[in-house]
Copies of this chain bind each other. A is one copy, B any other.
Amino acid sequence: MIATPKFESFPGNIYLKSGAVLQGYDLVYETYGELNSDCSNAVLVCHALNASHHVAGIYEEDEKNIGWWDNLVGPGKPLDTNRFFVIGVNNLGGCHGSTGPSSINPLTGKQWGGSFPFVTVEDWVEVQSRLADRLGIKQFAAVMGGSLGGMQALQWTIDKPEKVKNAIVVAAAPKLSAQNIAFNEVARQAITSDPEFFDGNFYEHGVVPRRGLKIARMIGHITYLSDDAMNKKFGRDLREDILKFSLDIEFQIESYLRYQGDKFADSFDANTYLRITKALDYFDPAASTGGDLAKALAKSQSDYLVVSFTSDWRFSPQRSREIVKALVDNQLNVSYAEIEAPHGHDAFLMDDAVYHNLIRTYFDRIWEGLQ
């Protein structure tokens, strides 16, 4: 499946949750499949920390650039693009083509850099909703996502209840724990203390805070994998036959993490990373209802599929069960699955048969409802 990025400009003001105002913004997005005549088969896939609008397929000119959820989304796949019209959007503040910190601030004619506003999950829902309006979609057959993407799906059912028929919330949490915030904060400190960060204005110095981004990514990566999965994949395997007793790489896990960190530092924008981790920290839909998540979800009209993975210690099954409880308290239709999976948080991106069959079956049901 060949994917083609599309662009839409939204010239009007948008008032962000932070109080900041953006005088217009652009979105890059991709669509897969065909929108049917009554516009009822649209599915919005929301991305998490490190991903983008490139959900599925490949690019004609870059066949190795495969969409991040390509194992799940495509013709004949669990989210079947022969049936559904699937949309992926690069979130506002991103670094893959939508307006973000590296964009030009129209008021100054220079790149935003450190002055780009902080965005929230609520802001993203609003922005995605405006794109849906533009495309003629009055109600999504489903809004889905994993991790931070799942949080967006949940927020959709709070902010735009009439626009979401089904929400699929995978490997998410109703809010970050202190430990979650702590890991984010260390990553941010690594970036902002990099001498090449320049308060976020590194573009004009022609540098990138690579060292900080690398550390941030390495920390993140550890939290995406389970201890068991890491032990199985790397254990204490040495990169060479003998110990060197130096700061060189001794163990394979060190080599792997450094490689992942370097790759990420070469491709991701530091200001975007800071803003997305902050959006994670800020996400707390129950904050406005005195901590009562059920109350926050009281107006929801959606059906839900909530999925967690046993070995996920970033957003453990316990966190998904908190969401399920709030939904059940509202007498909403909820399916909940706790998938036995060894991979940790990253399981939501893996091609696991039980997991994928579950998603397939759920979309079969949605499809039948549309007929």
Whole-angstrom distance between the alpha carbons of A88 and B102 in the complex? 54
Of A57-65, A124-132, A253-261, the segment with at least 4 beta carbons within 8 Å of chain B is: A253-261
Q: Is the CB of B185 within 8 A of A254?
A: yes
In the complex, residue of chain B having the shortest beta-carbon distance to the beta carbon of A222: B182
A281: chain B residues at CB < 8 Å are: 250-251
- Cβ of A215 within 8 Å of any chain B Cβ, yes or no, is yes
Q: Is the CB of A236 within 8 A of B178?
A: yes
Q: Is the CB of A245 within 8 A of B185?
A: no
In the complex, residue of chain B having the shortest beta-carbon distance to the beta carbon of A215: B190
- Cβ of A284 within 8 Å of any chain B Cβ, yes or no, is yes
Q: Which of A175, A190, A281 has the most CB of B within 10 A?
A: A190
Whole-angstrom distance between the alpha carbons of A351 and B281 in the complex? 33
Q: Given that A183-B222, A253-B185, A257-B185 are known contacts, is A245 also in contact with B177, CB under 8 Å in the complex?
A: no
Q: Is the CB of A253 within 8 A of B215?
A: no
Q: Which parts of A172-187 form the interface with B (CB within 8 Å)?
A: 175-179, 181-183, 185-186
Q: Which of A246, A247, A284, A313 has the most CB of B within 10 A?
A: A247
- Cβ of A218 within 8 Å of any chain B Cβ, yes or no, is yes
Whole-angstrom distance between the alpha carbons of A209 and B176 in the complex? 31
Q: Is the CB of A246 within 8 A of B189?
A: no
List 19 extra interface pairs beyond A182-B253, A186-B219, CB under 8 A: A175-B236, A176-B236, A177-B230, A178-B227, A178-B231, A178-B233, A178-B236, A179-B227, A181-B236, A181-B251, A181-B254, A185-B253, A185-B258, A186-B218, A186-B257, A193-B211, A194-B211, A219-B219, A250-B281
